[in-house]
Chains A and B, each alone.
Chain A
């Protein structure tokens, strides 16, 4: 469960988010929408603990968290690594990575199959299309069997077909594994399966009621 109590965040004394109160229950699918620069990513970074709130309190009970960040990795275009290696990175913690090779390899292969990129496992990430790369990032996020997955516009730069498949994959995984999903998107259509949708606008977070329309910008 995640709870934000009167959370505010300012950057260089400029308020970005003000007095946010929200609760995200375990196993729910939460969509976050809002115009560019409204503070969606800031809200997510606060929830993940990357940023500290200027005031207020954040309670988070999830232990295993995965994050698919919006920023394309610096190394995607030229880094010498294949799909299997990158996905297995999701299993790394603070413990030395020397033992239990077999079970880690098995788990990686399972996720590669779940996400539908098993055939690409030996391909270098620099040779993948935008859609394939996003799938690799999703697989990397899921390989550790997390209880919370945060996806920050994972569909950025994708063509329509890849985008549809990605949404289908996320919905299917949420239904099958009952993982809490927080999904930042520009498209309301992506969030048809969401239990709750939050709109971030003018430093405030409001809940979008069922049936209410939000026009993406």
Chain B
């Protein structure tokens, strides 16, 4: 499998995104805004459709669409603070609508590769962009993880203790938008939002602290990507879809095993107390 340079490239890009996506996605999940990823994925699709219809680079139009969308979501979130999910719903609907209309002006085969991704057809520009966004995501989260955590935990208290919460929120949102836009071509618009939620949901089952939960989610994301790519190579499935199915299987296994482990732990504790 690794004799093929295409597969090597797919594994490199897959590894970088498998680290970057749960990293930026975790904040959306912890803020109870998991649907943000979904909304951005759909607007990235709208951006791709606009790019293809207007003869522009779809990757660039997808990035612009995602950045504009996250700004709109944040604006609506501030205006209607009690209905933070409202902005997500508005952007998601607009994304689907625009994507649907603009596809009438594009070739179906071109557009399809953005729905489920084409990680096996990555060009050099896309590789450099993925390396760039990976580096930005990792640097931001390594250097500012406490500020990010404090802002998620209690924004008002974080602001009073001197953290620039508006800037932290803005950078987080921007990185989320850029990561999703750049993942649309490689993993696919329809599956990238799943990769934001699934590894974190799986990691949450382990009931560990913040840092360990993030690391576990990156671990699951990496293993899902490696198994998904290997499976797609041998079974000739679409890589993005195979990766997501593997991630779903991991989550289901954890959901089934966890109650069993808890039951055994409780029984052992009870037995110890009795003896």
Which A positions have Cβ atoms within 8 angstroms of B?
A: 48-50, 65-69, 71, 73-75, 79-82, 85-86, 88-94, 96-98, 124, 140-141, 144, 150
Q: A92 to B154, alpha carbons, bound, how many Å?
A: 13
Cβ of B207 < 8 Å from any Cβ of A?
A: yes
- 22 residue pairs from A and B, CB less than 8 Å apart: A50-B156, A66-B157, A68-B157, A69-B156, A69-B157, A74-B32, A75-B30, A75-B152, A80-B208, A80-B210, A81-B209, A85-B210, A89-B146, A89-B150, A92-B146, A94-B163, A97-B143, A97-B144, A97-B146, A124-B207, A124-B209, A141-B157
Choose from B156, B161, B210 the contact partner of A92 (Cβ within 8 Å).
Answer: B161
Could you tell me the distance in whole angstroms from the C-beta of B79 to the nearest C-beta in chain A?
14
Cβ of B213 < 8 Å from any Cβ of A?
A: yes
Cβ–Cβ contact B163 & A93, under 8 A: yes
Cβ of B158 < 8 Å from any Cβ of A?
A: yes
Cβ of B145 < 8 Å from any Cβ of A?
A: yes
Cβ–Cβ contact B162 & A94, under 8 A: yes
Q: A68 to B161, alpha carbons, bound, how many Å?
A: 11
Which secondary structure dominates chain B's binding surface?
Answer: helix
- Contact residue range for chain B? 20 to 34
Cβ of B147 < 8 Å from any Cβ of A?
A: yes
Q: A73-B154, A79-B30 are in contact. List 20 more A-B contacts (CB 8 A).
A: A67-B157, A75-B152, A75-B153, A79-B153, A79-B210, A80-B203, A81-B210, A85-B209, A85-B211, A89-B150, A89-B153, A90-B161, A91-B146, A92-B149, A92-B150, A92-B163, A96-B144, A97-B145, A98-B142, A141-B157
Cβ–Cβ contact B143 & A81, under 8 A: no
Q: A89-B149, A89-B153, A92-B147 are in contact. Are A80 and B209 (CB under 8 A)?
A: yes
Chain B residues with CB below 8 A from A67, complex form: 156-157, 160-161
Chain B residues with CB below 8 A from A49, complex form: 160
Cβ of B57 < 8 Å from any Cβ of A?
A: no
Chain B residues with CB below 8 A from A124, complex form: 207, 209
Q: A148 to B51, alpha carbons, bound, how many Å?
A: 54
Q: A92-B146, A96-B143 are in contact. Are A82 and B153 (CB under 8 A)?
A: no
Which B positions have Cβ atoms within 8 angstroms of A?
A: 30, 32, 142-147, 149-150, 152-154, 156-164, 203-204, 207-213
Chain A residues with CB below 8 A from B204, complex form: 80
Q: A65 to B163, alpha carbons, bound, how many Å?
A: 12
Could you tell me the distance in whole angstroms from the C-beta of A51 to the nearest C-beta in chain B?
11
Cβ–Cβ contact A86 & B157, under 8 A: no
- Lowest 3 CB-CB distances: which A-B pairs, in order? A97-B146, A96-B143, A92-B146
Chain A residues with CB below 8 A from B152, complex form: 75, 79
Q: A56 to B20, alpha carbons, bound, how many Å?
A: 48
Chain B residues with CB below 8 A from A82, complex form: 209
Chain A residues with CB below 8 A from B146, complex form: 88-89, 91-92, 97
Chain B residues with CB below 8 A from A98, complex form: 142-143
Most chain A CB atoms below 10 A, which of B146, B152, B203, B211: B146
Most chain B CB atoms below 10 A, which of A67, A80, A82, A94: A80
Most chain A CB atoms below 10 A, which of B150, B160, B162, B207: B160
Chain A residues with CB below 8 A from B154, complex form: 69, 71, 73-74
Q: A141 to B207, alpha carbons, bound, how many Å?
A: 25
Q: A42 to B203, alpha carbons, bound, how many Å?
A: 39
Shortest Cβ distance from A124 into B: residue = B207
Cβ–Cβ contact A48 & B144, under 8 A: no
Q: A101 to B150, alpha carbons, bound, how many Å?
A: 17
Could you tell me the distance in whole angstroms from the C-beta of B157 to the nearest C-beta in chain A?
5
Could you tell me the distance in whole angstroms from the C-beta of A62 to the nearest C-beta in chain B?
11
Cβ–Cβ contact A50 & B160, under 8 A: yes
Chain A residues with CB below 8 A from B212, complex form: 80
Choose from B149, B150, B160, B209 the contact partner of A48 (Cβ within 8 Å).
Answer: B160
Could you tell me the distance in whole angstroms from the C-beta of B201 to the nearest C-beta in chain A?
11
Could you tell me the distance in whole angstroms from the C-beta of A98 to the nearest C-beta in chain B?
6
Chain A residues with CB below 8 A from B161, complex form: 65-67, 90, 92-93, 144
Q: A81 to B159, alpha carbons, bound, how many Å?
A: 20
Choose from B164, B209, B211 the contact partner of A94 (Cβ within 8 Å).
Answer: B164
Chain B residues with CB below 8 A from A90, complex form: 161
Chain A residues with CB below 8 A from B207, complex form: 80, 124
